[in-house]
Amino acid sequence: RAPRTAWHDQGVTLQDSPFLRACRRLPVDHTPVWFMRQAGRSLPEYRRVRADVPMLEACARPDMITEITMQPVRRYGVDAAIFFSDIVVPLKAIGIDLDIKPGVGPVVAEPIRDAGGVKRLREIEPDDIPFISEAVGQLTGELGDTPLIGFAGAPFTLASYLIEGGPSKNHEHTKALMYGEPELWDELMRRLASITLGFLRTQIEAGASAVQLFDSWVGALSAEDYRTSVLPYTSWIFGQLSEYEVPRIHFGVGTGELLGLLGDAGADVVGADWRVPLDQAAERIGPGKAVQGNLDPATLFAPWEVVAERTRDILARGREAEGHVFNLGHGVLPSTDPDQLQRLTEFVHEQTAS
């Protein structure tokens, strides 16, 4: 079970947890904290569980999903769990031939670059991913008052993996299709938006109490390209999700120039990486939104005094925002010392306790 903490003992319900309150821009008794990629290779207990199990197999086994999702909650006492899965899991579930290669990431056997390829992207049905609902169900039981964040990859980031065939630095094939074949791009993005929505709905309906839409690589686009070629599809997703009462978080890397538009897409919380000071990020995102972030994950390799100093600065800037969820500016790096994350979690709680 999740560690019992002061606010659990006070009988505060899940909906009153600091994480959900901060997402809703309500006062909190401490700033909530969780870490992107808090589950994963930085934890010895994760490496043990995963030793002989390929990533995509682990993502299809409810017992394993539950165990791995719980690991950082138990160890750090973070304010939210993030569902253990991957952004390519729904694509695999609808029959796209892909794998997650150790040390590389998602690799797609036949990259999608024409109309025939796009047609292979069918809608996702709950029956395609029974293991997701089952794991979410197990987790909400184990987590008690600690919220579970469901997630999905956003259409642009998924499109990049599908079109490039794997991780990409320049996204050149993706941009070639986006600029050169706008109608095919539209069809591709519509289909991906529907898959993303289906994946998020399944998690929410099974009990996830917030969702994060990762558009990790959208920072590769100019604001104008984002507005015309990405924003319509992400806003559609957030619009469809508004029927649920769960907070919606939106995040991408290198999005300093896009923060206002990421807010316009309709999320309740916008995550920023470390390149923009958090108070400026909040200003760019605009009123009516909470912010999430934004310690550089590489800072955790510096002496503790540096981590403490930068964290204090982020917390001070976060007070300028209407709500602040503390996080890193991107995922935990695999060689991070878990003790640093433990200390950081405690430090954020201590510094902000009212």
Q: Which residues contact ligand 1CP by CB under 6 A?
A: 36-41, 50, 55, 82, 84, 86-87, 100, 102, 105-106, 151, 157, 167, 214, 216, 331
Query: What count of other Cβ atoms lies within 10 Å of the Cβ of residue 191?
Result: 21
DSSP secondary structure letters along 100-153: EETTTEEEESS---SHHHHHT-PPP-GGG-HHHHHHHHHHHHHHTTS-EEEEEE
CB 268 within 8 Å of CB 290: yes
Q: Is 50 a catalytic residue?
A: yes
**CB closer to ligand 1CP out of 40 and 318:** 40
Q: Shortest gap between Cβ of 300 and ligand 1CP (angstroms)? A: 15
Q: Shortest gap between Cβ of 55 and ligand 1CP (angstroms)? A: 4
Catalytic residue among 37, 61, 74, 227: 37
Q: Shortest gap between Cβ of 312 and ligand 1CP (angstroms)? A: 25
**CB closer to ligand 1CP out of 268 and 273:** 273
In 128-253, DSSP assigns E strands to 148-153, 210-214, 248-251
CB 79 within 8 Å of CB 19: yes
Q: Is 296 a catalytic residue?
A: no
Handedness of CA 43, 44, 45, 47 (dihedral sign): positive
Q: Which residues are annotated as a binding site?
A: 37-41, 86, 161, 216, 330
Rounded distance, CA 127 to CA 237, Å?
Answer: 21
Catalytic residue among 76, 161, 226, 233: 161
**CB closer to ligand 1CP out of 166 and 322:** 166
Q: Using CB positions, name the residue nearest to ligand 1CP.
A: 105
CB 83 within 8 Å of CB 139: yes
Catalytic residue among 24, 41, 190, 275: 41
**CB closer to ligand 1CP out of 25 and 76:** 76
Catalytic residue among 86, 186, 279, 313: 86
Catalytic residue among 50, 113, 248, 284: 50
Q: Which pair of structure tokens corresponds to residue 300?
A: 């955790």
Q: Which pair of structure tokens corresponds to residue 45?
A: 């207990």
Adjacent-strand bridge partners of 212: 151, 249
Pairing of strands 98-101, 210-214: unpaired
Q: Shortest gap between Cβ of 83 and ligand 1CP (angstroms)? A: 7
* CA separation, residue 127 to residues 97, 140, 171 (Å): 18, 20, 33
**CB closer to ligand 1CP out of 76 and 238:** 76
Q: Which residues are annotated as a binding site for substrate?
A: 37-41, 86, 161, 216, 330
Q: What are phi and psi of 335, to 5 degrees?
A: -95, 15
Q: Shortest gap between Cβ of 204 and ligand 1CP (angstroms)? A: 16
Residues catalogued as catalytic: 37, 41, 50, 86, 161
